[in-house]
Structure 1
Amino acid sequence: MSPGSSRHPLEVVDKRSMTPALERGNRLEDAIGRQVRVYRAQLGMTIANLARQSGLSPGMLSKIENGQTSPSLTTLQSLAGALNVPVTALFRKYEQDREASFVKAGKGLVIDRRGTRAGHQYHLLGHSVGNRAMLVEPYLIVISEPSDVFPLFQHDGVEFIYILEGEMVYRHGSRVYAMSSGDSLYFDADAPHGPEELKRLPIRFLSFIVEPNPGS
């Protein structure tokens, strides 16, 4: 089911708003330095030992371990070889800044769509965070009143629905599915789709729409 309306901002948690000390702890250089230091200690090696085996100067190795310089890929490969670990192990503790969209129970943004006229309530539970090639829109859809009008939807991408409560017959293209609590359906959203018959009210189901981001 395509939103058919402009996107609305929900609460976004961004780690960049956290303390400078935590931000520094999440920097790539710091994460690499910590891992080099940990692996060196596990092998019982001194800075001088590791510097000699990796072909670095002790001063440069000290800067790497303290997050004071950004080592090249060649340097990382030399360090990984001397420590007998894959290069990827040196990035293991790195945590990039990530956003999150948080919505309290019952606080999903209510939006109008074509189905609203047929008694469907659409609660937007989040929005895509960051710059992604795909847009993901999660909805809680509630149908609490009988309706003789069942609008069908078509849009790009794919959709997944999961029934939380109630029973209905759901159409996708030329096929129909009798769905009740616990049932799910994953489908190509380019085919006409939507509820065709309401069997037991109220009906509550989750809908996840994934479509290309035109701005990516």
Structure 2
Amino acid sequence: MLSDTLSNELQRYAIGPRIKALRLRKKLGLVQLAQHTGLSPAMLSKIERGQMFPTLPTLLRIAMVFGVGLDHFFSAEKEEPLIAIVRKEQRLKLPSRPGEKHPPYLFESLDYPASGRRMEAFYAEFPVDGPPSEPHRHGSAEFIYVLSGRLTVKVDGKEAVLDGGDAIYFDSSVAHSYRREGKEIATAIVVTSSSAVVD
């Protein structure tokens, strides 16, 4: 239980209202945000209303959905940087869903320091022991460039098999999923437009 002093200090940062503002800007409901963070809608509601303060790992899960860093919740609004460089060792891994032993893919953000960005770029790995991903939708467009291995991308019921050097652009507002093929890991660069996550 937090002391009154700590609670008052945390209230000053208005973390809950900042999360709600990001959620509304992305046109996400609490249930949708819960699906993408692995947190319950009830917990998210309490956090937004200031009835609960998130731990740093919990806040990081929320931040990654919106493409912002933890500093977004603790610093004053500042001018957006024109250039953001991410070194190989600085790439930020997106957290897997809680309890997921063999995720279908692992994403690392390549542009997380850039606030207010219009697109999001990721380095993606599709592990050998990973199952096919569940169909999902998120906004308006996605681009995938396969670096190595073989990857099947299913968009609106149609499948495209991609090898290293192949690329695909598609409307990501329709249901799509990924499936690694063969016995080797598949890697790719994935770029998505920054807009509302639908499902």
SS in 2 for 1:6: helix
For residue 110 of structure 2, what is the aligned residue in structure 1?
Answer: 125
The structure with the greater share of residues assigned to strand is: 1
For residue 174 of structure 1, what is the aligned residue in structure 2?
Answer: 157
SS in 2 for 1:146: coil
The percent of aligned pairs where both chains have the same amino acid is 16
- Structure 1 unpaired stretches of 5+: 12-96
Pairing partner for 1:143 from 107, 126, 129: 126
Pairing partner for 2:82 from 85, 99, 102: 99
For residue 94 of structure 2, what is the aligned residue in structure 1?
Answer: 111
Q: Is the 8 A contact 1:10 1:127 kept in 2?
A: no
Larger Rg belongs to: 1
Tell me how far apart the structure 1 counterparts of residues 180 and 69 of structure 2 sit (CA, whole Å).
33
Matched length: 126
For residue 63 of structure 2, what is the aligned residue in structure 1?
Answer: 6
Distance 1:213-1:190 versus aligned 2 partners, 3 A rule: closer
What is the CA RMSD across the aligned residues, in angstroms?
3.2
Q: Is the 8 A contact 1:146 1:198 kept in 2?
A: no
Pairing partner for 1:192 from 175, 178, 192: 175
- Structure 2 unpaired stretches of 5+: 1-32, 37-61, 72-79
Length-normalised TM-score, structure 1: 0.49
Pairing partner for 1:202 from 185, 189, 196: 185
Tell me how far apart the structure 1 counterparts of residues 69 and 133 of structure 2 sit (CA, whole Å).
29
1:187 partner amino acid: F
2:169 partner amino acid: Y
Q: Is the 8 A contact 1:160 1:186 kept in 2?
A: yes
